[in-house]
Structure 1
Amino acid sequence: MDSSTSVPADGRRYPNEMTNATIDHSERLAIRHLFWITLGVALAFCVSRGLVLLRFPVDAHYRNLSSVEPIDPVGILIAGAYGCAISLFSIAARSKQFWASPGKTLSLIIACMCLIDWILTLVATLVVRARLSVELAPGVSDLRGELFGIWYDVLVEEVGFVLCLPILTFVIYKTRRQRIAWRVAYNGFLVFAICAATWNHFDLSPYIPRFVLYHWYPICMAIPAFAILIAICVDCVNQHSVDWWTLYGAASVFSVWIALVALSF
């Protein structure tokens, strides 16, 4: 009997087991999905730019800016990936067998990173703007831009990756019945977050080659990006179905990584 359709000895079929017999492939990509994804990307652009405009008075005070920063190409791609992931997750959250689909899992990971990024940026901006509305006494150091000893403009990097660690650990636990290649890909995200958190909290510059020192972020992000690519290739070689959730999630990750590489090198 084919292993993809076999039933365990106890007679029960485990819905989280990632086999062709248990995955529901009836969720085809429809026009409503494309519309919803497009709407999510557009809203993500607006939110991302809105946060830049909201933070401008703070940046103008501490960085002596005379005008709002122009639109950043990498920021656009990141916002697009965020919007796509949030749209996919909002659809996937109501679908069947969430933890059996790699694409749905990817949407959860990226959507959580998005929410952490936006929430930390919004909180830091609002707190510092409120502090700037109060004049300092003469001779007092201006530390109004700090939150818990961290400057507002690096709060996302310093805290965000640390907050991602328990989320990624939970995802790895919930997807333990998926195929090994995808479990490795999720561990790639965890390794990326650990590397970024370690880099931000410890001075490793004396121990790191200069090339890695200048390009550490795209190098670290290449770990989950290529792990996803390898997982998709393994699925294709083994003739497993690759759903549209997975393709959209992988495209979101790779678009951001390629943009980082282009600007870094």
Structure 2
Amino acid sequence: MRIAALVAAALLGALAAPALAQRAPDPVPIEEWPLEKISAMGQAIYRQDVAAWVATDAVMALWASTPPPADMAGWIVVDEGEAQRVRFVRQHGGTLKSAFDVVVRDGRAGPVEVVSDGTLSAEEKAGFLARQTAISNIGHLRCSQNLNTVVLDDPDSDGWLVWLLTSTTDANIVPMGGHYRFRISADGSTVLRRDMLSNSCLNMPRRQSDDQGRPVALAVSQIVSQGPVETHVFLSLQNRMPIYVIAGEGRIFEVNGPEITKVEQ
């Protein structure tokens, strides 16, 4: 009963939000993935997002006293097993090079490495181009001024998976809507598929709490897939709270960090 009441209350609150006052377009079904892949990709998104975040903070601290190069063009994240190398990329004479590297372990940034010869490998260039290709092909649903990006190897092909993620600077808001998933070709230049992982913008307040005032859970109705998607895993990990996803014909899933379970009714 507690889960049912929580889900009902959360959905009523969501449906009353001004962002949903306008009629949303008809939902477009997305590419469905097994729950195991959804969990794995959600965890990978979270890990890379944290790496990019703490590395950016480290570089911004450096730039507080030393202006950044004028030709900075973005960043890529290179998986190095237990660590991730965040490479801040510049366009130098028509060639992509890393100007600064930051190695992140266990969510903590190491020192900023000023790179003298940061020529990117062919794979790193393709990953950077895949990110740019996705940004250039964003769809009509844009739910924030700034989007976070995640680029991963596609485990089911030789191409890339790229996410454009709705961001917020309000710690009391969970941006549940407006996230995109792209399949990009191996060379990074072509969009093979674009999936809009929600049908509308939905910023959910972290209002539900236990008797000690800690957030308990959020609930959302998912109409573009038959179950949860990887951004639900990512947001659950990021906000350290369960997310209940109602999808398909009344099925309810609990996404609690990397764990996805079907709630028996």
TM-score in terms of structure 1 length: 0.25
TM-score in terms of structure 2 length: 0.25
User: Which is higher, the Rg of structure 1 or of structure 2?
Assistant: 1
The structure whose RCO (Cα within 8 Å, separation 6+) is larger is: 1
More helix by share: 1
